[in-house]
Amino acid sequence: MTLKTTPLNAAHRAMGAKMVDFGGWDMPVNYGSQIDEHHQVRNDSGMFDVCHMRVVDAKGEGVRAFLRYLLANNADKITMPGKALYSAMLRPNGGVIDDLIIYFMTEQWFRIVVNAGTADKDIAWMKEQAATHAPGLTITSRDDLAMVAVQGPNARAKVWEVLPQTRAATEGLVNFQAADCGEYFIARTGYTGEDGFEVMLPKEKVEDFWYALNKVGVKPIGLGARDTLRLEAGMNLYGQDMDETVGPLESGLAWTVDLKSERDFIGKAALLANPPSKKLVGLVLLDRGVLRGHQKVVSAQGEGEITSGTFSPTLEKSIALARVPDGVQIGDTVQVEIRDKLLNAKVVKYPFARNGKAVVSL
């Protein structure tokens, strides 16, 4: 099978990337040291090729009402132009089709950014639902757009160095807000727990943008560091921390699910009928070793499973997200089975690190 490539493929190779098959995409896992790249983002600025993610535009009268029904989070929460909202999109049985971000641009235009591996099924689902509930809407996959995430305490300043014409429109953006600057759509969002921008731009401009950022000192960051950064920031990864077989309430996403309002949405009835018996918690390994996905968690309340685990470069300890019985409490010590040994781990409230610093107390 031929791997799919982004418009930055040649640039990655020129910059010495080690390339891997990431869900059918030929992507950079690192450009040398994954740990150095991680610290580069926490302390300065780094750039990520996220062209494999998909931008979808939903346009037409009634787009807000449609999203209000389509998504578990409430589109009515975003009223300031450009404001973004993180949400799960559910099956009627409550399983998570994907997690995504919607941007409110106008009452006739919401922009949606979805995961790479789920993009085709997401769009098929959106179109199927729109056909029934909002036949006047157009749902367009923006395959003409590329996306680069620039993250870190110095990231915004670096973007302004390269794109000074966008500064006036983006300087006042609050966290989770975007500005449409013509060819550049710039959002103050990310997947690292650091400040920064995600920049959507025409595909044919992305390579120049990438090299221009590099010239002002922004280092390329691979998928390896992207994973340790997002895990430290306590952000879920679709396909690992949740998928179609588990609901959002057992995936640490209760804060994104609006069950209080009268609003009906796809999956709501299933969530109300099936209160969760498990929950997602953070773990910090107390013994020596490395937590990994699918390791078994043993607690006084029963067994659980690690959904994502890694070594945290910021904490210099191993950390994980784990789905455990509801009775497990923050501060408990549980055991994790690693190669037939039971190692001790402390249950913590995540995130583990944000804005350059550790935020868990041990």
Partner 1 sequence: MSNPADLPSNLKYTASHEWVKTEADGTISVGITQHAQELLGDMVFVESPEVGRKLKAKEECAVVESVKAAADVYAPVSGEVIAVNGDLDSSPENINSDPYGAWMFKMKPDSAADVAVLLDAAAYQAVVDSEAH
Contacting positions for partner 1 (CB under 8 A): 18, 29-30, 33-35, 224, 228, 288-290, 292, 310-311, 313, 318, 339
Assigned token pair, 149: 């995430």
Nearest of 88, 59, 279, 82 to residue 177 by alpha carbon: 82
- CB closer to partner 1, 186 vs 319: 319
Assigned token pair, 318: 């191993």
Minimum distance between the CB of residue 18 and partner 1, rounded to whole angstroms?
Answer: 8
- CB closer to partner 1, 166 vs 310: 310
Contacts 24+ apart (CB under 8 A), 303-308: 304/278, 304/328, 304/334, 306/336, 307/240, 307/241, 307/242, 307/280, 308/227, 308/231, 308/237, 308/240, 308/241
Minimum distance between the CB of residue 318 and partner 1, rounded to whole angstroms?
Answer: 8
Assigned token pair, 194: 């650091």
- CB closer to partner 1, 2 vs 245: 2
Query: What's the distance, Cα to Cα, between the start and end of the chain in Å?
Result: 46
- CB closer to partner 1, 100 vs 225: 225
- CB closer to partner 1, 35 vs 358: 35
Minimum distance between the CB of residue 311 and partner 1, rounded to whole angstroms?
Answer: 4
Minimum distance between the CB of residue 222 and partner 1, rounded to whole angstroms?
Answer: 10
Left (φ > 0), alpha (ψ -120 to 50) or beta: where does 23 sit?
left
CB 66 within 8 A of CB 74: no
* Local structure of residue 176 (DSSP, 8 states): T
- CB closer to partner 1, 170 vs 295: 295
Minimum distance between the CB of residue 291 and partner 1, rounded to whole angstroms?
Answer: 10
Minimum distance between the CB of residue 351 and partner 1, rounded to whole angstroms?
Answer: 18
Assigned token pair, 152: 């870190």
Assigned token pair, 231: 């895990």
